[in-house]
Amino acid sequence: MTANPANPSGTPIHDHRFDHRAAARDCLRGLATGDAFGAQFFVPANLPALRDRHLPPSPWPWTDDTEMACSVFAALRDRGTVNSYELVHSFAKRHDFDRGYGAATNRLLRLVREGGNYRKLAADLFDGQGSWGNGAAMRVAPLGAWYAADPAEAAWQAARSAEVTHTHPEAVAGAIAVALAAAWAARARVQWLTDADLLAAVLELTPPSRVRDGIAEARQLLGQDAAYVAQVLGNGRYVSAIDTVPFALWCAARHLRDYSQALWTTAGQGGDVDTTCAIVGGIVAANVGTEGIPPQWREATEQLPEWVAEEQLGADLGPADFPRHTPMKQPEPIPVPQVVLPPGQWQRIRHGVASRAMEERWQSYLVEAGDHLLIFRNSLNHPLYDVGITHTPQGPRPTAAWVEGAPPYRRRSDVKEAAFLEWLLDALFGRDRRELWDRYMQLASGS
């Protein structure tokens, strides 16, 4: 199986019908409904309804799964990427002890609010092993839908979102796998996938782990009944990524186009039922959309919090967001970085960058129908770099670049400016690779 399963329709993911913001919002709604639905079956009086497949009485409150997923969605809408510091502080700010958080997460978020270093707190959990629980996986599906255009970007961003609370490799692998499943489910809106295709695509980018082994086994069990599969893979009973994610992905893959069937199948096997249903609900809704969630289920589910403002999808930044900016005073051409921009990086470029703090030095946005990228220092009102973009069959690529030549900017040599621009594009929109910075510093120092 390749990373790009067969596409009988021939419709690419950049089809105008696909909107990554709407897909992520749909995913959040599906996650919340699944979470709230599953949580009702921790109430003993509702177990007969589960056996008979009758909806439990409403209202259905959601749990920590949804509360944290709301922060993920809001962070992406605001920044277009995962800002680890802002994400974990959003978790801490919105933390409602009564939503069912685990003891370790309750303590971590409380200490973050009190000024603790989240990286150290997360790494120190469980005698320095980090948590391998399912908490990073339960909240991440909207991120996968957001980056459906680029599953590799979805995997990388999912790992960053996980590590703010869950540093164990199995927990990170679980988050990556769920994000990939949501990404491919969203892609399946315009690109046909079978259940086996979906799980094969997830396996392509999930790192070696027991979680990945479980997903590979889940793919082999697609023809079996849910009760047997839950016995083999687990049902989240141990609240670990290992015994939660493979079964949840099996349920989602088997019923990708039928929200209610997917959720009844998942809930029927018990275990950590709010979390398995949250994961499955998010993945399936990434495919079927809000309209694919039964209206009665949505009406029974507690509304999402006001602060998430779910009706506001956000928009790419543009000149209107920076009214004080003026044109470059003295543009001078420089060599162009020889790169092709992957879909995830191009999506982040389209989103734009607005600095929110003094230590954030750069702002950027596209102009002229996406043909020019302007990059500003936040202390200046005119761009330091103007990058011309050409859209090629391989993807967008820089084909021209200019640097400000007028004082007070101290222009460097063409070679140094080109090296700095290549690093800057990667730092703002890519992976911030150290080797690019080191290459620029070698040139800058003359060594």
Binding residues: 63-65, 272, 274-275
Q: How far apart are CA 98 and CA 28, in angstroms?
A: 21
Residue 395 · residue 339 · CB < 8 Å: no
The C-alpha atoms of residue 146 and residue 75 are separated, in whole angstroms, by: 11
Give the residue from 302, 247, 236, 277 showing the smallest Cα distance to 35.
277
Using CA atoms of 247, 250, 252, 256 in order, give the dihedral in degrees to the nearest 10: -170
Among residues 446, 445, 421, the alpha carbon closest in space to that of 436 is found at 421
Q: What are phi and psi of 338, to 5 degrees?
A: -90, 80
Dist. CA 228–CA 196, nearest whole Å = 18
Determine contact, residues 275/236, Cβ cutoff 8 Å: yes
H-state helical runs in 140-209: 141-146, 151-163, 169-187, 195-205
Q: Is 322 helix (H, G, I), strand (E, B) or coil?
A: coil
Tokens of residue 217, six digits: 């086994």
Residue with tokens 């992957």: 342
> CA torsion angle for 422, 423, 428, 429 (degrees, to 10)?
60
The whole-angstrom separation of Cα 156 and Cα 148 is 12
CA–CA dist 419, 416 (Å, integer)? 5
Q: Which helix (H) or strand (E) holds 362?
A: strand 362-367
Calpha distance 70→440 (Å, rounded): 39
Helix (H) or strand (E) holding 92: helix 84-94
The binding site for Mg(2+) comprises 63-65, 272, 274-275
Q: 38 burial class (0-12, 13-18, 19+ CB within 10 angstroms)?
A: buried
Contacts (Cβ under 8 Å, ≥6 apart) of 204: 1, 2, 3, 151, 180
Inter-CA distances, 99 with 96, 132, 420, Å: 6, 20, 47
Residues 148/216, Cβ–Cβ less than 8 Å: no
